[in-house]
Amino acid sequence: MVARTLIIIPAYNEKESIGGVIDRILAETPYRNIVVVNDGSTDATRRVATERGVIVLDLPCNLGIGAAVQTGYRFADRSGFDYVVRLDADGQHDVSQIADLLAPLVSGEADFVIGSRALGDGCHRTSFARAVGIRILASIVSRLVGRPITDTTSGFQAASHAVVELLARSYPDDYPEVESIVLLSRRGFRVREVGVRMAVRSAGRSSISAVGSIYYMIKVILAIMIEMLRKESSNPVSPGTGGGVK
């Protein structure tokens, strides 16, 4: 399983934290296939990652999180990896829990796994506006997919090869974490959450402010509504594992 797993780390101007994230993966886990997608960083993100011997894929400019993650999925698909784990470059995600995300995929219980801070045993501090936004989005997405989803904005995720094949071709641009849950659920893939610990980011700051959280939430809701109104593809990708969200 280890040799068939790729770790994807999208990064934009994360020179202060990306090195520590890679070092922890190499020191605390058996996973060695790591790809950093450098999303047009203007700082030393690329140099810091390259110095640690990992693969770095450079985007020509800052294209956004959707393009960065999809680039990683395309690399994984073309390289033939069976499993992909995506985590952020800011140090919030506990790399020792990568195996916990992969376990439901390996056992055949799920096709896509979300690391949920809401189900974790740690206390994740966030602004009041963002906390409210997360709950509202979780409620809306849960209704759309037909079962509870507690953390729709988590960037700590694991995907099976079938999911990677789909997302390599079709991945939401602006709000991928939320929209991809709806997309995968509509295609019959089994989406599952596992509880994870999340820390405050080790360096830098989030691009979404408290006021921006409200604006973000409204835009995500609109994007989801548009996605739901789109006509289903005449030849939807079959996950080959049965239907429904688990």
Q: CATH code at 99?
A: 3.90.550.10
* pLDDT value, residue 246: 45
> What confidence score (pLDDT) does residue 233 get?
47
Domain membership flag for residue 235: no
Q: How far apart are CA 6 and CA 12, in angstroms?
A: 19
Contacts of 197 (CB under 8 A, 6+ apart): 94, 97, 117, 120, 121, 122, 124
Task: Tell me, yes or no, whether 133 lies in a domain.
Answer: no
Residue type, 60: P
pLDDT (0 to 100) of residue 10 = 98
pLDDT of res. 228: 63
- Look up the domain containing 180 and give its range: 5-125+150-202
Give the pLDDT of residue 203: 54
pTM above 0.75, yes or no: yes
Give the pLDDT of residue 201.
Answer: 53
Tokens of 109: 């219980």
User: Residue-wise pLDDT tens for the chain (246 aa)?
Assistant: 787 999 999 999 999 999 999 999 999 999 999 999 999 999 999 999 999 999 999 999 999 999 999 999 999 999 999 999 999 999 999 999 999 999 999 999 999 999 999 897 755 556 666 677 778 888 888 988 888 999 998 999 999 999 999 999 999 877 789 889 988 998 999 999 999 998 865 454 555 554 566 666 777 777 667 666 664 444 455 555 544 444
pLDDT score, position 3: 78
Residue 218 lies in a domain: no
Total tally of structural domains belonging to the chain:
1
- The type of residue at 1 is M
pLDDT of residue 222: 73
pLDDT score for 100: 97
Residue-wise over 126-147: b if at least 16 C-beta within 10 A, else e?
beebbeebbebbbebbbebbee
Eight-class DSSP state of 36: E
Whether 238 is covered by a domain: the verdict is no
Between the alpha carbon of residue 75 and those of residues 81, 84, 90, 115, the distances in Å are 9, 10, 22, 22
